Amino acid sequence: MKTGLKLMAVAVLLAFAWLARQELLLAFFALVIAVVFSFPVRWFSRLLPRGVAVLLLVVLILGGVTVAAMVAAPALSEQVEDLARTVPKQLQKARNWLRAQGAKNVEEKAGQAAQKASEVAVPAILGIVFGLSEAVLVFVLALFLVAAPETYRDGVRKLVPREREPVFDESWRRTGTALRKWVGGIFVSMTIMGTLAAVGLAIAGIHDWLLLGLITFFGTFVPYVGAVASAIPGLLVAISQSPQHFFYALAVYLGVHLVEGYLIAPLIMRRAVEIKPALLLIGQGVLSAIFGVFGAVVATPMIVCVQTLVEFLWVERKLAK
């Protein structure tokens, strides 16, 4: 009887988790953002109460966003408009080239791809609106988490049997440490990659280099997949200028990612948390299949947490290795 009730409770929890998977994913992403906020909050807390430190962080973030909007928004707005004009032109040029080559079937497929892209445009705009609202929700939730992290840890700890509390405390400590190391490492990597891409594209004479550098900055958050996806807009902008600029941009992106693979990853990320490439790609594929694109975004920090728990709970404690 008890076993049946336990199985029923597990089934109910799994069903609830599946129905609320998007919300749980947003909550996990808010946790990652809270880890990012924990670095400046910890510094401010040495001089100020934690609540005041969080308020100071909010003021600095809002002030920074306002200043950035006043200074960089006009240039970025022009670059976004230019990028929006460039992509359709390049698609049309590709179709004309295929037509000139007599590749009827390929040209038809290119036309179908362009048609599908236009059909996706409106849902994408709606997705941006919903994404902004979710971003505000994640931001607020992250502030609550970073303001009183011990409160939420103690709340979860109350659900753990008393004899298992030391194991829970060590698991929580290790997971938090691994996540903080990964967040610190990936932020440094994002900054270096975005800066190198922007500077390299500017030197190569590629239009919209500032916007393309920002795309590289955010794309670096998703290893491998994000790196490839962030290079596509830059290559489209470059080919719209000339074939020579295309090869310049290609050389910049290849150089930037070689720096990441042979310098940034060994010196920064491997000191933070090392994840095998095959495991990372499989995790990204599985989570993107379950949660969509957002699943690929949070795949890496989630794998970091799972890997840390498996190493401690299974490898060390169960297998004694």
What does the pLDDT read at residue 263?
75
Q: What is the DSSP string of 273-300?
A: ----HHHHHHHHHHHHHHH-HHHHHTHH
The pLDDT of residue 210 is: 83
Question: How many whole angstroms separate alpha carbon 36 and alpha carbon 179?
Answer: 10
CA-to-CA distance for 25 and 19, rounded, in angstroms?
A: 12
The CA-atom distances, in angstroms, between 40 and each of 56, 224, 285 are 10, 28, 33
Tens of pLDDT, residue by residue over 129-165, are 566 677 788 888 888 889 888 888 888 899 888 999 9
pLDDT number for residue 290: 80
Q: Which segments of 204-269 does DSSP mark as H helices, in order?
A: 209-219, 225-241, 243-259
Instruction: Please name which of 218, 177, 160, 220 lies closest in space to residue 307, comparing C-alpha atoms.
Output: 177
Q: Which residues of the chain, if any, have pLDDT below 70?
A: 1-2, 6, 68-69, 71-132, 266-267, 269-272
The candidate with the shortest Cα–Cα distance to 42, out of 24, 63, 56, is 56
Distances (CA, A) of 23 to 92, 264, 319: 40, 33, 35
85: tokens are: 């004009």
Q: What angle do CA 30, 34, 36 make, to 5 degrees?
A: 120
Please give the pLDDT value at position 98: 53
What's the rounded Cα separation, in Å, for the pair 276 and 271? 14
Q: How far apart are the C-alpha atoms of 178 and 175, rounded to whole Å? A: 5
What does the pLDDT read at residue 251?
92
Which 8-state DSSP code applies to residue 13?
A: H
Between CA 191 and CA 141 the distance in angstroms is 25
User: Where exactly are the structural domains of the chain?
Assistant: 20-159, 162-321
Is residue 319 classed as helix, strand or coil in its secondary structure? coil
pLDDT of residue 130: 60
Rounded CA gap, 16 and 24, in Å?
10
With tokens 């239009």, the residue in question is 207
